Amino acid sequence: MHSGTDLETSLLGPVLADRDCGDCTACCTVLTVDTPDFKKPAGAPCIHLGSRGCGIHAVRPNICRTWFCAWRRVEAMPDEARPDRSGLLVSLNFVREPRNCFEGVSINVRALAGADAIDKAMAATILDSLCDQLVPVWFSDGSRKMLMHPDAEVADLVLSGEPAPAHLRDEVTAWRERYEVFATAPDRGTL
């Protein structure tokens, strides 16, 4: 989790009034929390997480009150995409020292540990709902992290700086202009 809630609102949209976490507690286990008043490592259940959810709900840390995954914000994601139902947790991701311009600020679709029966149609639906704007989208399954948006041809052109063919020129130019602040070595490898 990251406290960049204004950026999350501008890139993902405001928190939707009709979405509720319900029984989902995926973010309480999956994500890193690193704020002055509360920290937890990625992939470990929060010490306050019990069988009935957060044990300190009424006095939970500010980051837990203000952070919401993409499912709570993106209307185009269907109800079934809630992380505990889909096995996929989608959130905005921030990398302090990005290896390339697509890593600094991006949307990350994480396959949850143990969710080995991921519904491929749901994964495709989720990706479709996210890959329509100038925000990079990555998919990670715990061992690999793959860039899904923009597609490989566009990404390679953006990173290499080589001239784009006519049918891709506008798209490549738009990505370059938006992300030149993050421009670094041309590396789009996996994590």
* Burial class of residue 30 (count of CB atoms within 10 Å of its CB; 0-12, 13-18, 19+): buried
In the complex with ligand SF4, the residue whose CB is nearer, 41 or 161, is 41
- Find the part of the chain contacting ligand SF4 (CB under 6 A) among 82-90, 103-111, 118-126, 167-175: 82-90
State how far the alpha carbon of 169 is from the alpha carbons of 28, 64, 163, 184, in Å: 42, 42, 8, 21
- Find the part of the chain contacting ligand SF4 (CB under 6 A) among 60-68, 103-111, 132-140, 172-180: 60-68
The reply to whether 69 sits near ligand SF4 by the rule CB under 6 A is yes
The reply to whether 126 sits near ligand SF4 by the rule CB under 6 A is no
Can you tell me which of 11, 12, 27, 109 binds ligand SF4, judged by CB under 6 A?
Answer: 27
The reply to whether 9 sits near ligand SF4 by the rule CB under 6 A is no
CA 150 to CA 157: how far, in whole Å? Answer: 10
Can you tell me which of 12, 77, 81, 83 binds ligand SF4, judged by CB under 6 A?
Answer: 83
- Find the part of the chain contacting ligand SF4 (CB under 6 A) among 69-77, 99-107, 109-117, 153-161: 69-77
Can you tell me which of 64, 74, 81, 109 binds ligand SF4, judged by CB under 6 A?
Answer: 64
CA 90 to CA 94: how far, in whole Å? Answer: 13
In the complex with ligand SF4, the residue whose CB is nearer, 46 or 164, is 46
Task: Determine the size of the site formed for ligand SF4 (CB under 6 A).
Answer: 21
Q: How far apart are the first and last CA of the chain?
A: 19
CA 47 to CA 36: how far, in whole Å? Answer: 17
Angle between helices 152-160 and 166-179 (to 10 degrees): 60
The reply to whether 88 sits near ligand SF4 by the rule CB under 6 A is no
User: Sign of dihedral through CA atoms 38, 106, 5, 52?
Assistant: negative
Binding site for ligand SF4 (CB under 6 A): 21, 24-28, 46, 48-49, 54, 56, 60-61, 64, 68-69, 71-72, 82-83, 89
